[in-house]
Amino acid sequence: MLKKWLQESDYTVVFTGAGMSTESGLPDFRSSNQGMWKKKDPSKIASTKALNENVHEFIAFYRERVLGVKEYKPHKGHFILADWEKQKIVKHIITQNVDGFHQQAGSQQVAELHGTLQKLHCQSCGKEYSSEEYIHQEYYCTCGGVLRPSIVLFGESLPEKAFQTAYEEATKAELFVVLGSSLSVTPANQFPLIAKENGAKLVIVNMEKTDFDMYADEVIQDKKIGELLVELDQKNH
């Protein structure tokens, strides 16, 4: 059905989660078998409190994550979505991922709900920097403030602009496709429901069940995202 709905829809919005990134080889830092959170309590290390009170540990942790993202690249699925945007098949991407792979692959219309590891900004004055600063072990702004990744930390609200864009796109969607999200993180997981309430067809592609499967018009659990997008792309030509 997804292939048919993609062809029929005049306004398709794609929502991506960790499963989109793990196919690039990037570890899912929330998953239970991944070492990063096993060793650290995320609420203590990836929080505004840690940034203010334990800045050295905070920087060491995020430098590791920035370096980790640099080791990986977008996969074929990211490039297909970027191509679909050019062809007007996809209007917008809403993502929970912070790796910046959608933009690296060429997507322009991306709402990053949880920010990005590709940029840093000064906690004091807000000046923006590239994440290359962390790689070169530069951690302070010219004003003396601490450079932090431009992502949403525990204890922070989602970026207003990205949230508003995601809300507007969800209300406009005729087809809303979830790729690789467990839909367990609020408030991001509300967008599929908002789309559905506004009349969109909802398709959930995820290796495991989600609490939202009952609302979906189609659930796909037996295919990797990259493979599915390649199949759909071949059928589109």
Catalytic residue among 75, 78, 102, 114: 114
75 is catalytic: no
Diameter over CA atoms, the chain: 55
Burial of 45 (0-12, 13-18, 19+ CB in 10 A): buried
Residue 104: HSE in the Cβ half-sphere, 13 Å Cα cutoff: 19
CA gap 77, 224 in Å, rounded? 10
Binding site per annotation, positions for nicotinamide: 29, 98-99
Q: Comparing C-alpha atoms, which of 39, 66, 46 is closest to residue 155?
A: 46
Binding site per annotation, positions for NAD(+): 18, 22, 29-30, 96, 98-99, 114, 181-182, 206, 225
- Neighbouring C-beta atoms of residue 226, cutoff 10 Å: 18
Residue 161: HSE in the Cβ half-sphere, 13 Å Cα cutoff: 5
Q: Which two tokens stand for residue 18?
A: 């960790």
30-34 long-range contacts, Cβ below 8 Å, gap at least 24? none
- Neighbouring C-beta atoms of residue 136, cutoff 10 Å: 8
- Neighbouring C-beta atoms of residue 71, cutoff 10 Å: 9
Binding site per annotation, positions: 18, 22, 29-30, 96, 98-99, 114, 122, 125, 141, 143, 181-182, 206, 225
CA gap 50, 30 in Å, rounded? 18
Q: Which residues are catalytic?
A: 114
